[in-house]
């Protein structure tokens, strides 16, 4: 479930640096490979998007950014484990605070890809589009729709 880390070696996930700068930290071992893979995914997504415009390009860029965060998180989990080592020693299961936020990026990525039309689930895309339409109609009347 979790790998032991030597006490004298600090493991960093690099997510905060990536969020702040948009670049992988220079100490990140696989940063060049990650950058190339994200560029490849960005190019594929743009090529498969019908009627490409600035809005769709921004959504794709955000989705790729979220993918970078998820990749860094998975690399960290593979190296250090999902739970904090000190807490495990005390018998507590607590995830690293930054990793707890990764699920939000997963959701943003999924919603962005649905909005662009690259989602595999057409039912979910139609549900989101119907909700947005209902929200717009209710906003015109001055009240939000029910979920």
For the ranges 2-16, 78-92, 126-140, the lowest mean pLDDT is seen at: 2-16
Q: Among 21, 138, 4, which residue's Cα sits nearest to residue 69?
A: 21
Whether 129 maps to a domain, the answer reads no
Question: How many domains, the chain?
Answer: 1
Whether 146 maps to a domain, the answer reads no
Based on its alpha-carbon atoms, the radius of gyration of the chain, rounded to whole angstroms, reads 19
Whether 10 maps to a domain, the answer reads no
Residues of the domain holding 20: 15-116
Whether 104 maps to a domain, the answer reads yes
Cα gap 119→111, rounded to integer Å: 8
Query: pLDDT (tens digit, 9 = 90+) per residue, 81-120?
Result: 777 777 778 887 777 776 777 878 888 888 888 888 877 6
Query: pLDDT (tens digit, 9 = 90+) per residue, 132-143?
Result: 667 667 667 765
Contact residues for 113 (Cβ-Cβ < 8 A; gap 6+): 45, 59, 63, 119
pTM value is 0.65
Structure tokens at 19: 């969020």
């Amino acid at each position: 479930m979790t790998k032991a880390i030597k006490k004298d070696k600090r493991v960093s996930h690099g997510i905060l640096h990536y969020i702040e700068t948009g670049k992988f930290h220079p100490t990140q071992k696989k940063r060049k490979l990650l950058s190339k893979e994200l560029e490849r995914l960005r190019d594929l997504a743009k090529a498969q998007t019908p009627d490409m415009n600035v809005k769709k390009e921004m959504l794709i860029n955000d989705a790729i950014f979220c993918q970078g965060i998820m990749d860094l998180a998975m690399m960290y989990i593979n190296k250090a484990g999902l739970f904090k080592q000190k807490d495990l020693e005390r018998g507590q299961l607590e995830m690293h605070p930054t990793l707890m936020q990764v699920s939000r990026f997963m959701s943003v990525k999924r919603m962005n890809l649905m909005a662009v039309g690259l989602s595999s689930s057409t039912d979910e895309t139609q549900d989101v589009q119907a909700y947005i339409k209902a929200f717009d109609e209710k906003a015109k009347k001055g009240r939000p729709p029910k979920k």
